[in-house]
Amino acid sequence: MSKRLSHPSSSNFATLLQEFFVERLMQQRAVSPQTIASYRDTFRLFLQFAQTRLRKPPVDLALSDITVDLVLAFLRHLQDDRHNCARTRNARLVAIRSFLKYAALKDISALAVIQSTLAIPMKRFDRRLVGHLSRDEIEALLAAPDPNTWCGQRDRVLFATLYNTGARVSELIHLRVGDVVLGKAPCAHIHGKARKQRTVPLWRSTASQIKSWLQRNGASPDQMLFPNRSGNPMTRSNVTARLKLAVQTATRRCPQLSSHPVSPHVIRHSTGTHLLQSGVDLSVIALWLGHESPATTHMYVEANLAMKERALNALQPPHSKIPRYRPPDRLMQFLESL
């Protein structure tokens, strides 16, 4: 992206898109590589779609070509042809919106087209309840890896750290030896989304496991805490595959594990739920898990059926019978029926 695109018949669209990535995202906002990759993939798909629909190569596109009809057609293509869910559709729209807001500052002549496109709403979707494991299921899972093998030893420490910290799998696999402190107040320094860092306390048992793991491997501070056999960082698929093996073993001890899916994200949700059940304040859980929005943490309250049942038992039903509400007139009856 270091060279400017040029073409005899091109408008400023190609230049604007390049400036958006280099100047806006990388230099001014310093977004994470993951965000860059997500936005890049969005525009790869969008430009391919636009080329087919408008019969123009991407370099010949003009900003005025990015109409509301084109963007809506692209969003339908994502859902109907690529079978993307509403979340993915909305994420692609966010990337296009972000570029158009930047372009509006650079090219006033296309402002009318840009404004109509920016008015495209996000698509609503049903938010699923947060899935989580019970404490017995977590204990069975943590004890499942074989302690007599190198991979089993690593997996035991890996899963214990995952549950202790509630880290995202992308955060976990990038932890380095120097990111953990194993002194009197053991903790892990986690590098989270949007370059944000947080420090999470480690239980003594987790710190002891990490210490034993490091003594056996003699890793230096800049090496990965959980490497693969080649010494390189594990991938998401590596962690998911190792977790799947652990679940198969743990199911023999805890058969109920086979009744629901288990993923690194489910373990993260389990951490949040168990903290809540232990009486930890929501604001502390948000800091622990690295949530940007309090609404995200509030999902644990919505999903925690056990806490709801305890609250219901604490609230005794009144002895008096509540009269049935009746709308006062026909118009109110109509509104009530909607």
**Of the candidates 138, 137, 142, the residue with the CA atom closest to the CA atom of residue 254:** 137
Q: Catalytic: 260?
A: no
Residue entry with tokens 């609250």:
311
Determine how many CB atoms are found less than 10 A away from the CB of residue 62. 17
Q: Looking at 193, 198, 253, 298, which residue is catalytic?
A: 193
Q: Looking at 154, 268, 269, 274, which residue is catalytic?
A: 268
Three-state DSSP class for residue 221? coil
Q: Catalytic: 268?
A: yes
* Extended strands (E) in 56-181: 180-181
Q: Catalytic: 300?
A: yes
User: 150 is written with which tokens?
Assistant: 């190198």
Q: Looking at 39, 102, 163, 300, which residue is catalytic?
A: 300
Give residues with Cβ within 8 angstroms of 311, minimum separation 6. none
In whole angstroms, what is the distance from residue 19 CA to residue 260 CA?
Answer: 46
DSSP 89-103: HHHHHHHHHHHHHHH
Give residues with Cβ within 8 angstroms of 149, minimum separation 6. none
Q: Catalytic: 77?
A: no
Q: Catalytic: 291?
A: yes
* Residue 188 bridge partners (DSSP): 180, 200
Q: CA dihedral in degrees (134, 259, 139, 265; nearest 10)?
A: -70
Q: Looking at 168, 242, 269, 274, which residue is catalytic?
A: 168
Q: Looking at 77, 242, 269, 291, which residue is catalytic?
A: 291
| Residue 279 φ/ψ region, left for φ over 0, alpha for ψ in the -120 to 50 degree band, beta for the rest | left
Contact 218, 180 (CB under 8 A): no
Residue entry with tokens 């370099």:
59
User: 48 is written with which tokens?
Assistant: 């391919």
Q: Catalytic: 325?
A: no
* Extended strands (E) in 134-209: 180-181, 187-191, 197-201
Q: Which residues are catalytic?
A: 168, 193, 265, 268, 291, 300
